């Protein structure tokens, strides 16, 4: 598969041949489900460490920065070392929701300069369906890693840049939130004027695998042209959109603050309906 994704079969082969240099990250997280740690204890891939998206993959939320601001680099490096990550390791992140949370770990580690980070295509359900071993309970603490992170290896844009984006700005949230029909989390409904609706869920098949490359290529080609930037509610599922774009060779920019930051600033306009403007 692409350098973004790894299949269950490829992961099993990698673990069999280079297991000591593979770091498995269990990033189970869903909005409204605080029980990721318990899900991990109930069953995970052997050797995986649990990664807490709220505290390890994000700084504390604020109106000024959004619900999941990018974490401080020193904090991210400390966490990555606690997961056992060293320079030269292959890191594989997974969840149980089509990679929606795992992609946040993928994006952040790539942003920090880790060269080989993959998302397990199909996640834990695909692993289990293929007969992969599952263990429960705590894992021994991994040997601390020595990875050195440096920022800026993946592009970002701030609110001003997103508002004036010259190219294709994709809104990765569900269509009803883009249209402004509902807004269950953030202060205002709608979307950034000029943004095109591109729900992240449409990157996936019914089994939670990424769609074939040709289908994804056709999907993104039909949305518009020019340099691509992506936002969502808080910068989490937008990383999944960027991963899907990367599988077809399109480099995209993340607006980390996303709608949770934009909608908290009353000076910034909000559009509603099906049209970008």
**Of 109, 104, 61, 65, residue with least CA distance to 86:** 109
Using DSSP bridges, classify how beta strands 49-50 and 22-26 pair: parallel, antiparallel or unpaired. Answer: parallel
Count of H-run helices and E-run strands, the chain = 11, 9
Rounded distance between C-alpha atoms, residue 187 and residue 156, angstroms: 23
Could you write out the DSSP letters of every residue in 229-264?
EEE-SSSSHHHHHHHHHHHTT--EEE-SSHHHHHTT
Query: Catalytic one among 232, 236, 239, 243?
Result: 232
Q: Is 232 a catalytic residue?
A: yes
Rounded distance between C-alpha atoms, residue 118 and residue 3, angstroms: 7
Active site residues: 232
């Amino acid at each position: 598969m692409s350098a973004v994704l790894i299949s269950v079969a490829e992961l099993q082969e990698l673990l069999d041949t280079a297991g000591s240099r593979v770091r498995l990250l269990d990033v189970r997280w869903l909005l409204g489900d605080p029980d990721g740690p318990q899900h991990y204890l109930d069953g995970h891939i052997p050797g995986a460490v649990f990664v807490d998206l709220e505290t390890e993959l994000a700084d504390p939320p604020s109106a000024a920065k959004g619900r999941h601001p990018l974490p401080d680099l020193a904090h991210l490096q400390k966490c990555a070392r606690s997961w056992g990550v060293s320079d030269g390791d292959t890191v594989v992140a997974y969840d149980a929701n089509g990679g929606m949370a795992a992609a946040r770990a993928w994006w952040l580690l790539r942003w920090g300069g880790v060269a080989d980070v993959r998302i397990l295509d199909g996640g834990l359900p695909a692993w289990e369906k293929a007969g992969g071993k599952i263990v429960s309970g705590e894992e021994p603490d991994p040997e601390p890693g020595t990875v050195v992170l440096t920022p800026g290896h993946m592009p970002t844009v701030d609110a001003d840049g997103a508002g004036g984006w010259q190219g294709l700005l994709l809104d990765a949230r569900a269509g009803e939130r883009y249209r402004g029909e509902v807004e269950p989390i953030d202060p205002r409904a709608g979307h950034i004027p000029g943004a095109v609706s591109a729900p992240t869920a449409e990157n996936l098949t019914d089994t939670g695998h990424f769609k074939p490359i040709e289908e994804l290529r056709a999907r993104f080609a039909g949305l518009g042209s020019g340099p691509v930037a992506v936002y969502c509610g808080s910068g989490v599922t937008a990383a999944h959109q960027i991963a899907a774009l990367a599988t077809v060779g399109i480099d995209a920019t993340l607006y980390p603050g996303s709608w949770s930051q934009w909608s908290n600033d009353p000076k910034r306009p909000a559009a509603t309906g099906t049209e970008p403007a």
